[in-house]
Amino acid sequence: MSERSLLAKYSGAVPRYTSYPTAPHFHEGIGCDIYAQWLGELTERDTLSLYVHIPYCDRLCWFCACHTKHTLKYEPIANYLKSLMKEISAVGARVSSNAKVTAVHFGGGSPTMLDPADMIMVMNALRTAFTFADDAEISVEMDPNDLDEARYDGLAAIGMTRASLGVQDFDPKVQKTINRIQTFEQTKSVADAVRARGVHSVNCDILYGLPYQTLDTLKETVSDIISLAPDRIALFGYAHVPWMKKHQTMIPEEALPGVEERYTQMKTAAAMLVEAGYQPIGIDHFGKPDDKLAMAARNGTMRRNFQGYTDDQATALIGFGASSIGQLPQGYVQNMVATGEYERMAQGQGLTAIRGIALSEEDKMRSHVIERIMCDFAFDFATVKEKFGAMADDVIAEARQFARTNQDGLCVVTDEGFVLTETGKPLARTMASIFDAYLGNGKGRHSIAV
């Protein structure tokens, strides 16, 4: 089958599989009481990864699908932080003091909007509430437009080890259309400043499929990013989901590239990164060979969570802040999304969980299979059998059946396992969806697979 025909056949809307079951299947039967129970069941053998959500920006980028809101005043942020401190204390009181934190990620929104003293205050609260490993990684999503010398010093004071810079595209017309004005010079100054303060890892995000983005403008952006020598690069496809994010209606749909053009953009950018010495990682990441994520991809320990691909091996991810999602051994839990209601709940009882899902053994098995396909482009039959016993026969049978009936050369089945071919790898999300037992029930709308 031609590449064009494959795209037409397999580029339908499917989840990004940063969780399984995916967020549309969370329900209100999981609330604060169950969350408190799950937190209390974590033991000294568990390791923790903490996510802190700052849902504010001083500009709203039209392309963004994050839970955030626009503000030019600091007062709403200061009020929000008071509630965040309450939640941190309440969660910490329910978790074993011997469970060690191995990673903290500040996301948003724009965490770098925080005053330096407030960033230090939040980190001190986390260190008071939890026990940190000596080598815990501290990563921060950064907006170059927010930063100044005092904020750089504040980030150094919290022990930031990894800086994540959103770039998207440097072309002025594209930037104007998505309301993300950010020059190459600004971005370079951030990379230089954090490296001067001892940060060992700098990441950059690039988007393809943006309005008015052409192959030539994308190639210029990729070349500029390569010149910054980031340790890790994410190459994401723009997800146009205006039914979820109303501000995306500001983007003219007629200016968006079609599926074939998106695919060409993705393949061209990926080839440029590989030629520059970056190792392909999963479906959308690239890293220098000595980057921790690249090493995890090579040795089969890479994982996938709500932050995307990660080398984080923590047994529990705890989310703080409005809309944050936690991933515990027992299941997923999401905090109240609306910031006002989040603050009311946090000030009252500390915990703010309003929805989630408890994992059945079948959920855990299918989650393992989907994660391995997304990370390794394969899953091993013996491992699934070892982890899940006779139940594994079902997904192994599904894998064999799909491989037997698929005529497009997307995968092969051997005695050892299910493996995507080079043709199938760019369609990993679609291939993972084969094993999604929830997908057909009508809940949730998703972005296209390419």
Distance of CA 188 to the CA centre of its chain: 24
Range 138-167 average pLDDT: 94
Range 206-224 average pLDDT: 96
Say what the pTM is. Answer: 0.92
Note the pLDDT of residue 446: 46
Phi and psi (nearest 5°) for 113?
Answer: -70, -20
Note the pLDDT of residue 25: 95
189-204: per-residue pLDDT in tens? 999 999 999 998 999 9
Q: Which domains does the chain have, with CATH numbers?
A: 22-358 (3.80.30.20), 361-441 (1.10.10.920)
Q: Judge whether 397 and 390 are in contact, CB under 8 Å.
A: no
Q: Is the pLDDT of residue 63 over 80?
A: no
37-47: per-residue pLDDT in tens? 999 999 999 99
> What is the chain's mean pLDDT, rounded?
93
Range 239-254 average pLDDT: 83
369-370-373 Cα angle (round to 5): 90
Task: Report CA torsion sign: 369, 372, 373, 374.
Answer: positive
315-338: per-residue pLDDT in tens? 999 999 999 999 999 999 999 999
Distance of CA 247 to the CA centre of its chain: 21
The secondary structure of 156-190 as a DSSP string is: HHTT--EEEEEEE---HHHHHHHT----HHHHHHH
- Residue 72: Cβ within 10 Å count: 7
The number of CA neighbours under 13 Å toward the Cβ of 92 is 18
Range 271-285 average pLDDT: 97
How far apart are alpha carbons 339 and 17 in whole angstroms? 26
Note the pLDDT of residue 185: 96
Q: Judge whether 188 and 228 are in contact, CB under 8 Å.
A: yes
100-110: per-residue pLDDT in tens? 999 999 998 89
CA-derived radius of gyration, the chain: 21
Task: Select from 233, 223, 236 the least CA-distant residue to 293.
Answer: 233
Beta-carbon contacts of residue 193 (< 8 Å; ≥ 6 apart): 147, 152
Range 386-404 average pLDDT: 96
Q: Is the pLDDT of residue 153 over 80?
A: yes
End-to-end Cα, the chain, rounded Å: 17
Task: Select from 332, 313, 290, 328 the least CA-distant residue to 103.
Answer: 313
At residue 445 the predicted structure's pLDDT band, cuts being 50, 70 and 90, is: very low
19-34: per-residue pLDDT in tens? 999 999 999 999 999 9
pLDDT > 90 in the chain, percent: 83
164-192: per-residue pLDDT in tens? 998 999 999 999 999 889 999 999 999 99
Note the pLDDT of residue 240: 83
pLDDT > 70 in the chain, percent: 97
At residue 152 the predicted structure's pLDDT band, cuts being 50, 70 and 90, is: very high
177 CB-contact burial (10 Å; exposed 0-12 / middle 13-18 / buried 19+): buried
Range 232-261 average pLDDT: 87
Range 59-67 average pLDDT: 76
Range 401-422 average pLDDT: 95
Range 424-440 average pLDDT: 92
Range 121-135 average pLDDT: 98
Q: Is the pLDDT of residue 5 over 80?
A: no
Note the pLDDT of residue 441: 62
